[in-house]
Structure 1
């Protein structure tokens, strides 16, 4: 098959890690192209780590002359008062060109089909069979009561939920009625952290009751390659021997719960004044930079590492991973990476996280948090959950072993095989 994998951009995110890793695995048997719609938003280290040279990237910067001409026309038309971007329209043309030039059999989008997305326009204008993986895009819209996306989602031949929760919420088999407080909190998060995607989903959405989902819906868990050092590993952090180490990985925005995690860490230290502690923070963003300025000088035991391409060497120094996210989550790649290193997690019970940490048919590999009415984690429960591992070595060892065992659930080869079977069935 000839497969076109599409993402909105390639900045640092778990959904993009999956897109790159899955494209690389599929490229072992198929011809795979990768359409990155925003060449300005790329994490080069992440791409180098997860994307195989066998996958050809389709992006504006891969056509330098065309890109330069489009930027110049863009500037000219804007000076003339145009209400559109020539450069953005050129990306539509590039997507259509790639589908026809390379004879694409199926497109796999890691961006949801919504009212104004480019992928929606490509499906409508080319008719290319398309499978969408819902990382949490649809889930977040559903949780604020926004259902205008349904007619566009139904254009896909299939929508893949990365967890049973995601799939059931999408189909309506699971109905969650948000409180007004939760809905307002969700809209704030969408407007700040996912502004472009939210605007694309809502600006042309027709009012009215929710339409039925008619497309096929499947559940395929994320698959992540096991860590293999590509060279010399970074030196271990100079954490004093005997320290109990908490770790956290994620985008440096408020929705990931960085403020909650650091506040809880300070309270845990106060609860155990005779113990040594450390906190390893792996992430980057304006919000986290603000916290770094607040904490770093007075707390040398907090290691702010910024954007880390290979977190595994640092995860090995941790005893517990933290995921106190707000409002919504999908199936965080970083939880899988912590599991690989035998690190249990304390996490908000959002999206697919409960299925990962406390699977129905598997061992428990962490603790799920109690939440406030606005879908933020309760700070007192976060402190208690972290403290339980500090106080109970047997609990920590039991959950660490469960984490290692659960890592096998997220094998990238098995994940790719399931997508391949789905694609073949759709293509015929």
Structure 2
């Protein structure tokens, strides 16, 4: 089978990219041929089709000047360069199925137009809540918000939920409205939600509920040596962004004893602010490693007492949690979004309220004081990962969804041909 993976980034930037690249490797191992389409970027892995990628567009921070901003907004709505580029890839690669991931902004739904015209079946994994939340985050000035799910997209503008900016919020709301108005995602035959939580929000918003399927992300616990020695630091892994709540973890460190250590792997716009906070509230006890390879992250997990995921937004199904479980490490995470579907409180980790450093410190202290108990909790987490998140099970279920997409595409093609004949 020839699978075309489509995502705006082609390097290990976050959970979506980690999933896509690991899945592609697995598919190649099982005999499939894989190709990628993405935005040009200096960190991209080599690709046979990179000459057809649309140019790099940096949106954080946004482009300066009215002309540059206007061009970036236009590309968010519809990218002619992305459509033209993927059409050339389709012509040469001739995919049996296209598997889309995060295409918003830099690629836009324009790629779907080319896939539809070529009759390519399309599956799309929803790694975040963009289709029901214009700003991606389910956040309104740091507070959880789902106003746009059951209400009007005008809420995003009224609340200025994107960086407290009326203009930025209006652009994102307009983007979502236009894509819905012109049914830009109609070419997707099957939508995949990793969590029941996100699937529920999409169903509530009436976003293609008939095409929505739930499928867990995956890992390969059998290829990862589990943690075997008790003890170690607390760790956080991920993009250093407001929604991830890393500041809560740092403040919790200030409430713990002098022997407690926190190691943070990842980078992002909040790094300098977080480093200053750490120097102030927990001097010498918080380490920032920056971006690390997957292997380095797995080694970090195995050295840890627990992974902290103190998110203040609704998480979908974080790959970091699944990978920590596969390493035999418990997770302390907030009871938001899909986290409660992963963490069994008291068995594979602890669930805590968001934005509460004292609650996080209390949960962490209990594990730090009982390293053997923490190790036992991690073993339970690994058993769960082995049973629920195996790569073989995921690949088998995904193959069935690919087949469903092909049947749906064939049916829609037949209906279109019949309509043309009747005219």
TM-score for the superposition, normalised by structure 1: 0.70
Q: Which residue is 1:245 aligned to?
A: 233
Q: Which residue is 1:365 aligned to?
A: 348
Task: Choose 121-130 or 141-150, whichever is displaced more.
Answer: 141-150
Matched, 1:317 2:318: no
Matched, 1:31 2:24: no
Q: How far is 1:34 from its partner?
A: 1.2
Task: Choose 381-390 or 215-224, whichever is displaced more.
Answer: 381-390
Q: How far is 1:392 from its partner?
A: 4.2
Distance in 2 (CA, whole Å) between partners of 1:341 and 1:152 is: 40
Q: Which residue is 1:96 aligned to?
A: 87
Q: Which residue is 1:135 aligned to?
A: 127
Q: How far is 1:20 from its partner?
A: 1.0
> Which of 285, 288, 309 pairs up with 2:271?
288
Native 8 Å contact 2:331 2:350 kept in 1: yes
Task: Choose 132-141 or 118-127, whichever is displaced more.
Answer: 118-127
Q: Which residue is 1:118 aligned to?
A: 110
Distance in 2 (CA, whole Å) between partners of 1:32 and 1:244 is: 39
Matched, 1:406 2:384: yes
Distance in 2 (CA, whole Å) between partners of 1:26 and 1:242 is: 35
Q: How far is 1:119 from its partner?
A: 3.1
Native 8 Å contact 2:123 2:405 kept in 1: no
Native 8 Å contact 1:348 1:368 kept in 2: yes
Native 8 Å contact 2:263 2:289 kept in 1: yes
Q: Which residue is 1:258 aligned to?
A: 246
Q: Give the 3 Å change call, closer, same or farther, for CA 348–7 of structure 1 in structure 2.
A: same
Distance in 2 (CA, whole Å) between partners of 1:130 and 1:103 is: 13
Q: Give the 3 Å change call, closer, same or farther, for CA 21–243 of structure 1 in structure 2.
A: closer
Q: How far is 1:118 from its partner?
A: 3.2
TM-score for the superposition, normalised by structure 2: 0.71
Q: Which residue is 2:286 aligned to?
A: 302
Native 8 Å contact 1:324 1:348 kept in 2: yes
Distance in 1 (CA, whole Å) between partners of 2:339 and 2:230 is: 30
Q: Which residue is 1:425 aligned to?
A: 404
Distance in 1 (CA, whole Å) between partners of 2:367 and 2:113 is: 50
RMSD: 3.4
Q: Give the 3 Å change call, closer, same or farther, for CA 252–316 of structure 1 in structure 2.
A: same
> Which of 332, 339, 344 pairs up with 1:346?
332
Native 8 Å contact 1:23 1:34 kept in 2: no
SS in 2 for 1:152: coil
Q: Give the 3 Å change call, closer, same or farther, for CA 264–410 of structure 1 in structure 2.
A: same
SS in 2 for 1:108: strand
Distance in 2 (CA, whole Å) between partners of 1:170 and 1:42 is: 32
Q: How far is 1:294 from its partner?
A: 4.1
Q: Give the 3 Å change call, closer, same or farther, for CA 414–139 of structure 1 in structure 2.
A: farther
SS in 1 for 2:337: coil
Native 8 Å contact 1:35 1:95 kept in 2: yes
Matched, 1:16 2:17: yes
Native 8 Å contact 1:358 1:366 kept in 2: yes
Native 8 Å contact 1:154 1:214 kept in 2: no
Structure 1 regions of 5+ residues with no counterpart?
48-55, 69-77, 173-209, 230-240, 372-376
Q: Give the 3 Å change call, closer, same or farther, for CA 282–131 of structure 1 in structure 2.
A: same
SS in 1 for 2:270: helix
Task: Choose 332-341 or 378-387, whichever is displaced more.
Answer: 378-387
Query: How many residues get paired?
Result: 342
